[in-house]
Amino acid sequence: MREVISVRFPNGSRNYDFDPCGLRLRIGQEVIVETTQGLEFAICTRGNRAVQEGDEVRTLSEVIRIATDEDRRILAWNRARERDAFRIGEERIAAHGLEMKLVRVSISFEGNKLIFFFTADGRVDFRALVRDLASVFHSRIELRQIGVRDEARMIGGLGICGRPLCCCQFLTNFLPVSIKMAKTQNLSLNPTKISGACGRLMCCLKYEQFAYEEAARRLPKAESFVQTPDGPGNVKSVDLLRETVRVSLDSDPDHLKTYRCAEILLLRNGKGNRNGIDVPPPPPRYVEERKEEPPLPGEDWTWAPETETRVRPNRKGKAPEPRKEPKREPRQAFPKDKDEAWTKAAKASSERGGGGDGDGKRRRKPWYKSNRKGRPNR
């Protein structure tokens, strides 16, 4: 058994294992680690844990120390130098007339090496550019050509789902994605719909591919000959998520009916003729079983056959009596002479102090004298 921790470098999404060298570290703690490029600043993503000797074949690098305030000031100083180096790098690229796009500049923690990441359509001869940059920064210069997916990971952004890009959060390696996955999932083949911020197919197409493939093996294909509770017919479309099919019945070919896959019998999978196929009797319809809720402690459920619903007993242990509808008196017919009836009602209201002035018109209080919420009451 040996003890290891996992760390992640700034502007990265991949975790690396290191030897803690006896230090007890927790998640989110900043450390200085030793790499092949020298000392680097990293953040702990997984604390101390024990692993088998066989799980870690290669020799792990060591954690030098826990980051101090001086290390954080050095990191901030390097970030400011990266912004200046990015500006100077763009100016030098334009001066040399190279067809390349600078994506990011990374400076090592010790400040003795600068890495320029760029994208280009083909090979670029940047030897003169390297000599020019070395004369400006007086450090080791390295230029790395990356792809469009690595560019999206470094720059970051939001996907069409509204969340940050997966490659910026948790993807350690790019998954192979093909257009066949979009066809299996019945997605629109419009490039703007299935392409990510990098212009390639979205990585999330790989997430549910196994579930779609497993459902496609179980469900019938289009134009299959099936027997349904309403008679035989041909399958016209399949919904892999709901596990339903739309069938054109022989008795009514103009209208499609939807059935669950559990209530059909597959007689021929795919296209073909019906010669020699024995049609069995229609299967029963699928009825979803619902589990009854267990009764609460100390009481039992009773069944009301009139309403076909379960009734909870009252505190005395007896089933409640059915609710009786109150008797409603018939509404009185409105008098034919509406004006005369309205005048009588207004006068009666005025005599009772209802706000009328006796002339048959009802007077209402102004808005500033009402008792409504948020208005003064004067």
76-129 pLDDT, tens digit per residue, is: 898 888 888 999 999 999 988 888 889 989 888 888 888 899 998 888 888 889
Residue keyed to tokens 């004006």:
339
The answer to whether the CB of 174 falls within 8 A of the CB of 196 is: no
In a domain, 288, yes or no: no
- Containing domain of residue 191, as a range? 153-209
In a domain, 348, yes or no: no
In a domain, 173, yes or no: yes
**Two tokens at 258?**
């939807």
**Which residues partner with 266 through β-bridges?**
226
**Share of residues in the chain with pLDDT > 70 (%):** 74
In a domain, 197, yes or no: yes
**Which residues partner with 249 through β-bridges?**
233
Number of domains the chain is built from: 4
In a domain, 231, yes or no: yes
Average pLDDT over residues 31-48: 84
Rounded Cα–Cα distance for residues 140 and 128 (Å):
14
Pairing of strands 265-268, 38-51: unpaired
pLDDT score for 330 = 65
Q: Is the pLDDT of residue 374 over 70?
A: no
Domain stops at, among 115, 146, 177? 146
Residue type, 21: C
In a domain, 229, yes or no: yes
Rounded Cα–Cα distance for residues 350 and 333 (Å):
24
Most confident residue range from 21-35, 293-307, 311-325:
21-35
pLDDT score for 3 = 81
Burial letters 339-356, b for 16+ CB under 10 A, else e: eeeebeebbeebeeeeeb
Phi and psi at residue 8, in whole multiples of 5°? -135, 135
Domain stops at, among 121, 146, 171? 146
Task: Output the average pLDDT for the chain.
Answer: 78
pLDDT score for 304 = 47
- Band (314; pLDDT cuts 50, 70, 90): low
Q: Do 134 and 83 fall within a single domain? A: yes
Q: Do 196 and 167 fall within a single domain? A: yes
- Band (296; pLDDT cuts 50, 70, 90): low
In a domain, 238, yes or no: yes
- Band (14; pLDDT cuts 50, 70, 90): confident
Q: Is the pLDDT of residue 267 over 60?
A: yes
Query: What are the residue ranges of helices labelled H in 266-325?
Result: none
In a domain, 359, yes or no: no
Average pLDDT over residues 268-285: 84
pLDDT score for 294 = 66
